[in-house]
Amino acid sequence: MKDFMAVTRTIWIWTILCGLARCQRPASVNIGAVFTFDSVIGKVAKVAVKMAVDDVNADPLVLNGTKLNLIMEDASCNVFLGSIGAFRALEQGVAAIIGPQSSSIAHAISQITDGLQVPQVSYAATDPTLSSLQFPFFFRSIPSDSEQMAAVADLIEFYGWKEVISVYLDDDYGRNGISSLDDELEKRRIRMPHKLPISIKFDLNEITNLLNHSKVFGPRVYVVHVNPDPRLRIFSIAYKLKMMSSEFVWLATDSLSATLDSFTPQNHSSLSVVQGVVALRPHIPDSPKKRSFVSQWTKMQNESTASIGLNHYGFFAYDTIWAVARSIDKFIEIHKNITLSVNNNSGLLNTEAANMLLDKLKVFTGGSDLINILLQSNYTGVSGRFQFSPDRNIVSGGYEIININQTEITRVGYWSNDSGLSVAPPETLKKKGHGRVPQDQKLNKITWPGGMTGRPRGWVIADHARPLRIGVPKRASFVEFVTELPGSHQIQGYCIDIFKKALEFVPYDVPYVFMPFGNGQSNPNYDALVNMVADNVFDAVVGDIAIVTNRTRVADFSQPFTSTGLVIVAPIKYSKSSAWVFLKPFTPDLWCVTAASFIMIGVVIWILEHRINDDFRGPPKRQIVTMCMFSFSTLFKTNQENTLSTLSRMVMIVWLFLLMVITASYTANLTSILTVEQLSSPITGIDSLIATNWPIGYQVGSFAFNYLRQNFNVPKSRLVALGNPEEYARALQLGPSRGGVAAIVDELPYIELFLSTQTDFGIIGQQFTKSSWGFAFRRESPLAFDMSTAILKLSEDGELRRIRERWFCKMGCPEERKSDSEPNRLHLTSFWGLYLTCGVVTLASFLVFLLRTICQYMRYKQRQKDIPSGSREASSSGKCSHVIYSFFNFIDEKEEAIKKMFTHCENPEQQPT
């Protein structure tokens, strides 16, 4: 009994304490909701927020007995009226503002709520700039357009389109959304060259004119970013203008999906005007809460309580009320109450404001704390995970990609920032740990406008109403490449034939018209011609257009169809045989040294062989002939005399090696002299040409002028403009001394054609630049890629070669006439090492022989002194002349005789009496 009384007492005390605590909480809390009641979003939001408030008030676990009061104000799609509605709600003391749905109205109301420190949570304002630091009290419970535009850009990139046209509402929502799309496209190197702004009044004549005018543009991919429009006016007008055909691609942001989802089954017949359109819709994962909410909405529709279909704005509006209610509950638990007070220092409530009855506005002193609580929101609602990022945007669950096919709305895939495009829901891929992998990007089959299921091209080059404007140079010289025939307005030439043949490989029709550029009296300036593509005067330029750096900055070029480059052409002459041409390979000093070497070798070999080799003995006349003939016969390897001395053989080895090198060099140089063209000027290449002060010719309109000026700093006064091959020949024949030029710098194809009829001129040195000819197109033109593919096919099929032969090989193809400078004559300096080696070896051998002979002679004389005086010859005199004479006689003796003389000196008694 005592235990029962104790429990009863505890329960009674707890009940009293709870009642006291409950009494401390406010009985009700006001929140304001500002939106346009009579709109696609407003009709859904009105039902959704009422459902959410009723559900919050019916849940005892939320607000713990405090009633949530909803104050709704109609903004009527007007910034002024929306601001008035916000003031009316704020006058009644609200803890938060829900909405508005319009980004423009949100900008205005955010200024007010910031001043009063009242949090503002919008479920429909998607303008990315609202997340800036300028609006610290603004929250967004729907994904921002910055993320939606990333999804649109990925979709465009996935299908390979390079240019798009945007159709957008000309207000903060439209402009800032398209600006985000432009940024995302730029990251992917995709252009948005045309933007079609539409006024918020949706003027039908304005829309008709804009869309009709856009038909002359090349891109056929349209991105529509406007408010939900139940009348689908933009697409209806496009349908009437026959712009919903297979040539066009229409992409739409989530406003279209919201419109279509809000349709009742009876409205689905109007989907015919949006056949093939692809749109985005925020992805809301399937869950019991979602199914229950959809079921409840359907029931309300059946009961006529809800007059519109449920779209994603309804999900986000419903969850927004719950997020605010939960945050207010936590705020009350901490602060016990919602305190609104007049703040005279706020700068908002001054004397003038009081006169305007604005003194009723109260500042929410705990607004900053409520913001912090809102940032911590983390729960699962009917729209999925409800959580804010640090920049006060809802954490997105990705987007669904839908396709309208007949009367059905088909989901063809998903997009999320983590996984990109996929056919599986983002939450599934996230659980599996799948990241964004380029090769995994995929979507299901899409039916495009016109019933097309393949990938649309997404652009047209031109139509018959506005054909492609192609500029062609009206050349006055070298007309074989491209020009306009006089009097016929017909364009023809080598380059034109290549262009027409390449068009046959382009997989679509390209209407075009040639527009000549130039007066026909002189060649046009090609840089100016290419710049006219960048200035939109021409859509393309076809002709002998060199692909050089400054031109690639303003235009795109096709694959090159011929190689070219700058070369030098100058007068040449052919070497003619003369009686003394054989002397040209060696310089005089080399001839003299070579002749002296022959004589020296003959003398040294004779000296070394004379004492031991009978071939080198005999009468003086014979010895002189032998000495000379032996030396010169080594040139032909027909020596009849053999060498016996080791020293002689060593000398001969070195001499024959020298002779082999000299002979080979002589033969090669003489061959070159007899076969190579000879220059009539000392120019050997671009460096030697630039080093002179002679005038240089160039073709009018060629890039050679700028190239020589910018890369070699050639003064303008040295550059002479020449217009045709006749001027080329005349200027080269005159030469620099008579008012002509020393050489001409031009592109190889022109020079080849020029030389095909000239024999007095030739190409000097090597080609000193590498470039090519191609067709110029506007930047990012899709035709540039297709023409490049076509030119590659022409090259692989040999068609480029055949076109060239038809134009330039009627009388034989122009051969490249290159000419090197006159071969350098061989100088002594080229061989001084060999001659020095041979001389050293020869001199060393001679010295060894001489020293050995002197030693032999001295020993002989010494032996003679040892012989008794009676047996000495009386002629042993000590005179110097006699000694020299005796020495030469000793040398002249054969080696065998010398040995006998030594024997006689050692055994004088054996001599006969």
Give how far Cα 366 sits from Cα of 95, 117, 331, Å.
9, 8, 9
Other CB atoms within a 10 A radius of the CB of residue 430 amount to: 15
Which of 644, 736, 685, 246 shows the shortest CA–CA distance to 446? Answer: 246
So what's the pLDDT on residue 611?
A: 66
What percent of the chain has a predicted confidence (pLDDT) above 70? 80
Tokens of residue 52, six digits: 């959410």
Range 122-144 average pLDDT: 93
Range 440-448 average pLDDT: 91
| Phi and psi torsions of 392, nearest 5° | 70, 25
More confident residue, 434 or 106: 106
So what's the pLDDT on residue 636?
A: 65
Tokens of residue 137, six digits: 């009290």
Cβ neighbors of 56 (< 8 A, separation 6 or more) are 62, 63, 68, 321, 322, 325
- The band of 7, judged by pLDDT with boundaries at 50, 70 and 90, is very low
**CA angle centred on 518, ends 514 and 521, rounded to 5°:** 130
Give residue-wise pLDDT tens across range 389-411: 999 999 989 999 999 988 889 99
On whether the CB atoms of residues 825 and 770 are closer than 8 A, the answer is no
So what's the pLDDT on residue 359?
A: 60
So what's the pLDDT on residue 485?
A: 86
Q: Give CA–CA dist 706/371, Å, rounded.
A: 65
More confident residue, 179 or 884: 179
Which of 642, 616, 571 shows the shortest CA–CA distance to 821? Answer: 571
On whether the CB atoms of residues 698 and 705 are closer than 8 A, the answer is yes
DSSP 8-state assignment for residue 395 = P
More confident residue, 211 or 611: 211
- The band of 894, judged by pLDDT with boundaries at 50, 70 and 90, is low
Q: Give CA–CA dist 294/382, Å, rounded.
A: 9
So what's the pLDDT on residue 216?
A: 83
Q: Give CA–CA dist 60/64, Å, rounded.
A: 6
Q: Give CA–CA dist 827/227, Å, rounded.
A: 90
So what's the pLDDT on residue 581?
A: 66
**Residue 754 identity:** F
- Please determine, for residue 607, whether its predicted confidence score (pLDDT) is greater than 80: no
- Please determine, for residue 792, whether its predicted confidence score (pLDDT) is greater than 80: yes
**Residue 46 identity:** K
On whether the CB atoms of residues 645 and 612 are closer than 8 A, the answer is yes
- Please determine, for residue 871, whether its predicted confidence score (pLDDT) is greater than 50: no
DSSP 8-state assignment for residue 392 = S
Measured in residues, the chain has a length of 913
- Please determine, for residue 887, whether its predicted confidence score (pLDDT) is greater than 50: yes
- Please determine, for residue 907, whether its predicted confidence score (pLDDT) is greater than 60: no
Give residue-wise pLDDT tens across range 332-367: 988 877 777 765 544 444 444 444 456 668 788 888
Sign of the CA dihedral running 50, 54, 57, 62: negative
DSSP output for 331-365: HHHHHSS--EE--TTSSSS-HHHHHTTGGG--EET
Tokens of residue 682, six digits: 């000392």
Other CB atoms within a 10 A radius of the CB of residue 379 amount to: 11
So what's the pLDDT on residue 833?
A: 73
Cβ neighbors of 144 (< 8 A, separation 6 or more) are 126, 127, 128, 131, 393
- Please determine, for residue 20, whether its predicted confidence score (pLDDT) is greater than 50: no
Task: Using CA atoms of 410, 416, 422, 425 in order, give the dihedral in degrees to the nearest 10.
Answer: -70
What percent of the chain has a predicted confidence (pLDDT) above 90? 46
* pTM of the entire predicted model: 0.67
On whether the CB atoms of residues 569 and 722 are closer than 8 A, the answer is no
DSSP output for 107-142: HHHHHHHHHHT--EEESS---GGGGSTT-TTEEESS
Cβ neighbors of 553 (< 8 A, separation 6 or more) are none
